[in-house]
Amino acid sequence: MNFKNKEAIYLQIADYVGEHITLGKWLPEEKIPSVRELAVELQVNPNTVMRTYEYLQQHEILFNKRGMGLFVTADAVEKIKKIRRERFMQQELPDFFTSLYLLDIDPDDVLQQYNEFRTKITTIKNTDHEDEQ
């Protein structure tokens, strides 16, 4: 995983976990990798993963089954989307609008690119879903 300098690593790992949950790689009520397993996979300090997991538990995205590990909550996807939407609207969208303005990019061009992206992603998701069956 390539980490960005402008955001805490534990939050970037939280985004990574959130993506896995949102994309259905880790399902509701399913056990997730242990702190050590994820630390090895991402090549980070286990304490950083522990901080990530604590953060996600505070936001009720993960829950602990004593002696068994951490699991995805039933409504994790909705909570992840809410948190990420808020952060996007407050932090990323203003920068995006500034770039559009400074580069004189028409919002209609952006909408066309976005629609093409959605079509591509939908096709990939449908192909992945067919492969699983």
Model-level pTM?
0.77
What is the rounded distance in angstroms from the CA atom of residue 82 to the CA atom of residue 60?
A: 12
The domains found in the chain, sorted by start residue, are 1-99 (1.10.10.10)
Q: Where are the beta strands (DSSP E) in the chain?
A: 62-65, 69-72
pLDDT tens sequence across 4-57: 888 899 999 999 999 999 999 999 999 999 999 999 999 999 999 999 999 999
